[in-house]
Amino acid sequence: MFGWVLFRADSFGHAIAFFAALLDPTRAGSRARASALHVDAAVLTAVVAGVVGATPAVPYLAAWRARLIASDASAAARRLDGALAWAEVGLLAGVFFLAAATLSASTYNPFIYFRF
């Protein structure tokens, strides 16, 4: 956090003010107001996706799929395995394209090293 201040601050005094705000958030204003400025639908969606992704649901489903295929070698089980594999690929492709569309639709994307 402190290292990024050097790239953001316009002057040494500005950097000191940033450091003071990092060390004492109450100097920058109300915490509730400052937090509300950064929380929107996209942030909440990312938090929910992160919480769901952090649960053991995906490994549990993978283990369930492996047990199902191992216990039943029928054509229906193989079709279900293929369908689940394609669903996984489709889900990942959908997330990729959604991320790419969201990134390209945003209006302000400055070059990260523009201050060098």
**Tens place of pLDDT per residue across the chain (116 aa):** 788 888 888 888 888 888 888 887 666 555 555 666 778 888 888 899 888 888 888 788 888 878 877 777 777 777 877 888 899 899 999 989 988 888 887 766 666 666 66
CA 55 to CA 40: how far, in whole Å? Answer: 23
Instruction: Render the burial of 3-25: b for 16+ CB within 10 Å, e for the rest.
Output: eebeeebeeeeeeeebeeeeeee
Q: Which amino acid is at 53?
A: G
Query: CA quadruple 13, 14, 15, 17: dihedral positive or negative?
Result: positive
Domain spans, the chain: 1-38, 40-107
Alpha helices, H only, the chain: 2-8, 12-23, 31-36, 41-54, 57-71, 75-105
Predicted TM-score (pTM) above 0.75: no
